[in-house]
Amino acid sequence: MSAIEGGRTTCEAVVRSCLERVAAREPDVRAWSYIDPAQAIAAAQAFDRGGKRGPLGGVPFGAKDIIDTFDMPTEWGTPIHKGRQPERDAACVALSRKAGGVLLGKCVTTEFANLHPGPTRNPHDLDRSPAGSSSGSAAAVADFMVPIAIGTQTTGSTIRPASFCGVVGYRPTYGEHRLHGVMEASGSLDTLGILARSVPDVALYRNVLLGIPPEPMMTLDRPPHIALCRSHIWDQFEPTTRTLVEDAALRLARAGARITEFELPADFARLNDAHRWISSFEFARTFTFEIENHWDEISDTLRGGRLHDGIDGSFERYIASKELAQECRTRFDSLWGDVDALLTPAAFGEATVGDWAFAGVPLFQLWTILHVPQISLPVFKGPAGMPIGAMLIAKRHDDRKLFACAQWAYQKLM
């Protein structure tokens, strides 16, 4: 971005470089559901002729294919909506273009941003999963096809792909970003997500998507207070992952951080089931048209999973789950004391081998349903040399402090 603004290169040169990488790697990685090189180059040339300037300054970006674009199809990862062409941009795309960003293309998502996978493969090992549902967004950034991309998260759909693919993944505080023009999965849980290669890039792009003037990234005036959280799902993480996170806590302590333990109340273990019933109930009603008119075109994975739960789920259980979630959010806000951020794994382990399209075990309902901001940092390698992320979590609306803690931790752990 600074090179474009400083005249050391052009937007067209940057876009052509990205397209060259796409041409070389896309046949294997398959991160894109739509990309038109001529269209991208024309947009870059328009920028160089004096197009809209702004914080993104001609930077190419990708958008998950559940995010509407007026000039590119948005198909939601399903043949039911093949060729679907929106008439306007989603708010997040419009804000990105207003800020000087150049949309390179649409990134592959899983079917309706749920479990049934798309064709994307992990760029570090084509026999492994990129995770879902923001699989294409994470893989495209990880493979240097584009510097930044928009994803979404309803369960773990930004954090887990970031961990598997070895990039920075950010899920913001629920409700801060506008989702107009983004396919709804579960309105009580959906957020945007950002996939990038650095924390400062994420922090800048958050401001763009909020539609606010760029702010310098917050810096800490002291080493942070980071609490290691061994939640009720701790034993479901692979032993290597648990060891890596515990070792990271020790390394951060040696670097000056105050490290403590953070214990969640026992009944927070009920939140994973609450997430299941909230998300499934809402999902099944969101897609009533598809269920009624295209049932046979929906995958067995989706019909037998979330749709089964949602169609058969009771309204009473849905409301009880929402009440539990709200109660736990309020209680969680009061538990932090002077803790700046929690530390926990960003994924159960390395990307799955064998079934490369497998989306990964969903272990992140807890943090998503609590509506807290999360960031995955690519600081670990597993036994096979594949990326594993460390996740930091902050209080609701403490996203800027989260970035400051994340940048401090990243510098100490790398």
The residues assigned a catalytic role are 64, 133, 157
Neighbours of 300 (CB within 10 A): 8
390: CB partners within 8 A, 6+ apart: 244, 245, 248, 343, 345, 346, 376, 377, 379, 380, 409, 413
**Angle between helix 399-413 and 239-254 (nearest 10):** 90
Neighbours of 360 (CB within 10 A): 24
CA 174-180-182 angle, 5° bins: 80
Beta bridge partners of 189: none
Distance between CA atoms of residues 220 and 47, nearest Å: 36
DSSP letter at 81 equals G
Closest by CA position to 396, among listed 373, 375, 366, 376: 373
Distance between CA atoms of residues 134 and 140, nearest Å: 10
**SS3 (DSSP) at 233:** coil
Distance between CA atoms of residues 68 and 65, nearest Å: 8
Distance between CA atoms of residues 311 and 350, nearest Å: 33
Distance between CA atoms of residues 168 and 357, nearest Å: 21
Distance between CA atoms of residues 148 and 140, nearest Å: 8
Q: In angstroms, how far is CA 152 from the centroid of its own chain?
A: 5
Structure tokens at 213: 């003037």
284: CB partners within 8 A, 6+ apart: 291, 306, 307, 309, 310, 311, 313
